[in-house]
Structures are given as structure tokens and as C-alpha cells.
Chains A and B, each alone.
Chain A
Amino acid sequence: MNLKISNSQIEHIKGANSYLIVSTFLIFVVGLYFSLLDSPPDYIQGDSMRIMYVHVPSAWLSLFSYTILAISCIVWFVTRNPIFNLFAKSIAPIGAAFTLIALVTGSIWGKPTWGVWWVWDARLTSMLLLFFLYLAYILLWQSITNQETAAKISAALGIIGFINIPIIKFSVDWWNTLHQPATISKLSAPSIDINMLIPLLIMTLGYMCFLITVFLIKLRIEIIDQKMVRLSEV
């Protein structure tokens, strides 16, 4: 099945991206103002808890990216439309980068708070696992030379790795660990103070805009690449 995206649609993606870049920048400025200057410091940790505004949205979005990757792979299996494979291929490096940011900023936060850079508790280990799953997905695309076969195999791998996401999400509840349990859930009022919640949500929105911006850039590149491969085969 061929990729049915016309050149004008590619130009539309580029046009939408210019709005997104501006809004990403603005939301980050607002979010950073609120998180660094306007929000209260923690009564135990002091000002070092401000890393939370970088660490938490990054971790949330890494899980979100893997979910998008797995859903794209499943939809590809159902509809066989190659655009969904390109969705998954584009979001993989972004998700990997977010996971790495979450791990590194988490370590930086952990050093003054817990005293160690790393501890092998459930959530940290499963986030490390998630990073390796992303890496495996990206490397699998690069190692199979026939692009059609690579698409099919990577879709299978993306779905297999999805089992890790509920493990990460619920690991903090299942095993009694050092990492802080969830303070924001859909079913009850969040136990975090409203003055800290607002910057956190603004930063999450900024990260999400950033994700969509980079995702659209990569998607455009992948679509053009796929079209060039098809044309060279003809």
C-alpha cells in the first residue's frame, strides 16, 4: 500500500509547525517563570525540588510517547497504511530522549534528596528498561536493510514492548519503594499544592508542544524519505 500523502499536505505540516514553534517557546517562557520564580519552595527540600518541573513532565511524556508508538503499531497492523509506521518511527527518538532526560534529572534530584545518584527500585529500573526498549526499536529499524520488512518487524517489536508501560505506572504502588508514589490521579483530588500544580501543568503543556513540534519535523523527513525510496525503486 502506498503512502497517500501529497506534497501540499507536507507543506501544510511545515506551516502548522511554524505556529507550534512559536507557541512552544511562549509556553516554556511562561512555565519557566512560574516554576523557577513564582512557585513556593518545598518545606523540606527547599529550592532543589524545582527540578520536579523538568523531571515529571519528561517522565510523563516518555510514557505517553511509548503509548503512541504502540498504538501506531497496532493501527498499522489493522489498516496497513504506512503512515502509521512512520508515526511510530518518528516518535521513537523523541521518547528515548525524554526518557534519558527523566533519568538524568531524576538522578540529579536524587543526589541532594536521597544521597545517592541511583537506587535500584522498581520505578527507576523500569524507566531504564523503557529506555532500552526505545533503543531496541530504533536500532531494529536501522539494522534491517529492506525497508518494507523493517517496517513489519519493528511494528511487532513495538507492540511486544508495550507490556512495560503498565509495569512502570503501577510499579510504585505494587512494590514499596523509595520513589514517591503518585500524587496526581484521575480519580481523586490531587494531593499536591495548587501553587505547584499550575507550573507543573504549564511545563507539561510546553513539553507536549515541543514533542509535537519535533515529531512533525521528523515525520516530514520520514515521509519525504519514504517517497524517495519508492521513487528510486521504480
Chain B
Amino acid sequence: MFRNLIIRDLKIAFFTSTNFLFTASFFLLILILIPFIFGSEIGLLKIMFKGLIWIALVLSILLTLSRIFNSDYDDGNLDIIIRSVSSLESIICAKYIAYWITNCLPLVLFVPIVGQLFNLTFQETVPLMVNLGIGSIGMVFIATCISALTLGAKRTTFLKGIIIIPLYIPFIIFGVDTDSWPILIGLSMIAFVVSMYASIYSLRLYGE
């Protein structure tokens, strides 16, 4: 059942407009704005890229957040899924894994390729990929938690943004510092535990 849920979500993602190509293009376009905004001096481009890749990550999570629970809740599918599994953790983890694979994995994998545009060698992008990967794990957990908390409400895009961005700030503070990946692992684990409790609570609340 767990495996089927993941495969279902991946299929929905890949055959609609949130597949690999679209996600990769979105990241590329956000990062391409950097030389337009800041000018094309090479040293500056490097610094800006290392910082603004996190903005690209936060933007992509905030824009596609509703795919985790809200679209299934609006169709009524979430009710059916909740009744057909034995534990709510499996739904949350399945949706989380599918979302992370379709949304954050392209970003982490494309960083060396896009980094070439910004004059970063492969060795320089490896710590960036590690931090992004670990940070995105925790950030997507927070996103699923808040998305589950505001399931039934209408027009909550900005509200979710207002709640989520303050909670992302520790991740970003430690994420841009390439020596703090152990702290990022700790933050992601805290996010995992807290969002598990809160998501199960609200799925139980909304799914009855």
C-alpha cells in the first residue's frame, strides 16, 4: 500500500505539469534572473548563486505545496486513502517521498549543471548539493505539516507562506554556511518529528 501510494503520486506528478522538465525549467529560470538583477561580474555571480539557490528552493516549495494534500482533499480522494490504510504515518511518508522526489531531487541534481553557468566547478558545488539535500528534507517536512494544518481553508497561499517562512529561517541560516551540515541534519530530524505529530493530528481531524 505504501509503495502503491508513492507510485500513484509519482505518476500524477510525471504525467502532469509538475514533471521533471517543468521543475528543472522553473529552477533554471529563477536562477537566470540573477545576472539580470545583479550584473554579470563573475565573482558576484558565484556569491549570488550560492545564496539565491535557497530562494529558488523556498519558492518552488511554496508554489507547489498544495500538491501534497490539498488537491487530494478537494477531490475527496484523501478521505478514501485515509480509510484504506492502517496507519496515517504511511500516507504522510508516501506523499512526502513522492513530493520530495519530484520537487527537490531535480534541484539538488541540477546544481552542478547550472553551477557551470555561474562559473562554479564541480568541487565547489558538492557542499552546496549536500546542504540543499539535507535542508530540503527538513523544509519539505515543515511544508507538509503546515499544508496539513490548513487543509480545508480557502485561499491560504499567502497564509501558508507567512507561517512557513519564519520556520524556514533556521534552515537557511545554517544552510548557506557549508560547514554546518550536521546542524542541518539535526534540524531536519526535529522537523520530521514535529511535523509527523502535527500532520497525523490534522489528518485525523480533517479526515473524519
Residues of A within 8 A of B (CB): 125, 129, 132-133, 135-136, 139-140, 143-146, 149, 152-153, 156-157, 160-161, 164, 167
Report how far A129 CA is from B167 CA in the complex, Å.
Answer: 9
CB-based contact A140/B166 at 8 Å? no
Report how far A148 CA is from B137 CA in the complex, Å.
Answer: 32
Interface residues of B in 106-158 (CB under 8 A from A): 145, 149-150, 152-156
CB-based contact A140/B198 at 8 Å? no
Report how far A228 CA is from B137 CA in the complex, Å.
Answer: 44
Pick from B153, B162, B169: contact of A144, CB under 8 Å: B153
CB-based contact A157/B152 at 8 Å? no
Count B interface residues, CB 8 Å.
Answer: 22
Number of A-B contacts (CB under 8 A): 53
CB-based contact A129/B163 at 8 Å? no
Q: Give me 4 other A-B pairs in contact (C-beta within 8 A), A136-B166, A157-B163 excluded.
A: A132-B165, A152-B205, A153-B150, A160-B167
16 A-B pairs with C-beta separation under 8 A: A129-B166, A129-B169, A136-B162, A136-B163, A140-B159, A140-B163, A143-B150, A143-B153, A143-B156, A146-B152, A152-B202, A153-B202, A153-B205, A156-B201, A160-B145, A160-B194
Chain B at the A interface: mostly helix, strand, loop or mixed?
helix
Instruction: Identify which of B145, B163, B170, B198 gathers the most chain A CB atoms within 10 Å of its CB.
Output: B163
Chain A at the B interface: mostly helix, strand, loop or mixed?
helix
Interface residues of B in 53-91 (CB under 8 A from A): none
Pick from B153, B159, B162, B202: contact of A156, CB under 8 Å: B202
A170 vs chain B, min Cβ distance (A):
14
